[in-house]
Amino acid sequence: MVGDKEITKLIKTEIVRQQWTLDLIPSENIVSPAVLEALGSSLTNKYSEGYPSRRYYGGNEVIDKIEILARERARKVFRLGKNWSVNVQPYSGSPANFAVYFALLNPGEKLMGMSLPFGGHLTHGWKASATGKFWNSVQYGVGRDGYIDYGEVRKIAKKEKPKIIVCGATTYSRVIDFKKFRKIADEVGAYLMVDMAHIAGLIAAGAHPSPFPHADVVTTTTHKTLRGPRGAIIFSKDAKIAAAIDKAVFPGLQGGPHDNQTAAIAVALGEALKLSFKKYGRQIVKNAKVLARELQQIGLEIVSGGTDNHLMLVDLTNSGISGREAQDKLEEVGIIVNRNMIPYDTRSPFDPSGIRIGTPSVTTRGMKEKEMKKIAGLVYDALIGGYSADIAKRVKALCKKFPIYANN
């Protein structure tokens, strides 16, 4: 970077940190050089309030083509017809979800989503979020077995009569039955919104069932398993809903879109159309299954007993350490995870009983089942044995074999 030595130094330091650590945070990944190039392009200089052919500024001929291309690629990636409207302008996932509620709900009307401590997202109506303050929120969770109890979801929905039911999660390791959610939504006359932010890349790769045959609205971030820049997409198949969502995004909640971000999303979607992406998405799931199984075999408890997607939640209750301690212990040796509450947790969110682990980033680096077995051993040794120079050395040796951009 020309002209700012301090920031250049810090960026280089962060690149080194990423290269020499194992990133097991499920919501993080490694974008391609092409995505980085689009993000750092001169598109940053443009302002483009409005939508293609309906801008409030001049000079948007190129921007219109980029946004239209991003929409077209999004439909192709998720195998959708022209009847699905696509909005690629939300700045990120939280604003995208807020835009859907803003479009379809009046203040004080009811939405229903998964509770944050049970695996949902803040924007699914959690009380600390604006979505739990602007609207009347009811929440569902999971059973003691770690699975969604669809009978309980139906019972709550019939009692509360929400206008929107949200399905999707940030810490749920099993396949979501979108068909069952659709049936429940129909029984109570609710819109069904699917937040597929975490599993979008798996759906694109055919490694997870698609929500599109069942949902009225689908939102997703464009990073995580989709392996693009920070951003979001909203899909809707009803023209009236689509028009309301477009108005909610702009001018309802934000001004001009970040055109460099839109271009980077288009690049990532182009990559997701390749056969190599399909293989990568399926490998994420294979890796997660092996990692969960190996962690269980060496004595760690996995919520729900395993995983069907890219992540798992490790219950440390019987291990004698808290989630915060585990996160710190692992980071000392170069393994990056996040502390996380487990269902029915009795501890504080700041120091919960679990850690969340995922395989997107290490899969992007080219690691497969063999490496997952090694990672499971490293995690166990760090948690049970604490810091040792030998564990840190083994982590670095594994990182050296898989440079962050060698397979991207």
Residue in 67, 195, 246, 315 annotated catalytic:
195
- Which residue in 21, 123, 170, 221 is the catalytic one? 221
Torsions phi, psi for 308 (to 5 deg): -115, -5
Q: Is 6 a catalytic residue?
A: no
Residue type, 352: P
Q: Is 182 annotated in the active site?
A: no
Catalytic residue from among 76, 110, 180, 230? 230
Q: Is 230 annotated in the active site?
A: yes
The 10 Å Cβ neighbour count of residue 56 is 13
- Catalytic option among 47, 380, 387, 405: 47
Active site residue 221: yes
Q: List the catalytic residue out of 71, 73, 174, 224.
A: 224
Question: What sign results for the dihedral spanned by CA atoms 334, 335, 336, 337?
Answer: negative
359 neighbors 291 (Cβ within 8 angstroms): yes
Find where tokens 């809903």 sit: 241
Pairing of strands 110-114, 85-87: unpaired
Query: What spatial distance separates the first Cα and last Cα of the chain, rounded to whole Å?
Result: 22
47 is catalytic: yes
Q: Pick the catalytic residue from 28, 46, 49, 76.
A: 49
**Residues taking part in catalysis:** 47, 49, 195, 221, 224, 230
